[in-house]
Amino acid sequence: MILVVGGCFQGKKEYAFRQFGIRPEEAADGALCPPEAIFETKMLYHFHEYIRRSMEEEREFSLEELLEKNPGVVLVTNELGYGVVPADRFDREYREKTGRICCQAAQAAGEVHRVVCGLGTVIKHG
């Protein structure tokens, strides 16, 4: 698994397409795709939105299951931990859960890339 993180509108998706040679039709949008798509796609962008949908639908996300079924997936996600803490309880819980899942994903990933202004930096390799 490879994790690509960065702020909103920083060019993460385009970076991942270029860096890993993935075509748009080989990727799934976590905001819209069916839940099982994560196990079949080469790249899931808007991973943070996939987590949000899982919480809203009261569906538990399992990183272990993802690693078992799709160990080569590239996950592209926004960093949500910077900025103002949301007043809404669900939004706070979503932000915390996403952060914790991304920390676990980073630990399990073979590579982690951080993208700022369209430029990627490898922050973990191997």
Q: Give the chain's domains with CATH numbers.
A: 2-125 (3.40.50.300)
State the pTM of this model: 0.95
The reported pLDDT for the residue numbered 42 is 98
Rounded to the nearest 10 degrees, what angle do helices 89-108 and 47-56 cross at?
A: 130
C-beta neighbour count of 2 within 10 angstroms: 20
Q: Is 85 helix (H, G, I), strand (E, B) or coil?
A: coil
Phi, psi values for residue 42, rounded to 5° = -75, -35
% residues pLDDT > 90 (the chain): 94
pLDDT in tens, 21-76: 999 999 999 999 999 999 999 999 999 999 999 999 999 999 999 999 999 999 99
The reported pLDDT for the residue numbered 53 is 97
Q: Which of 126, 117, 119 is nearest to 8 (CA)?
A: 117
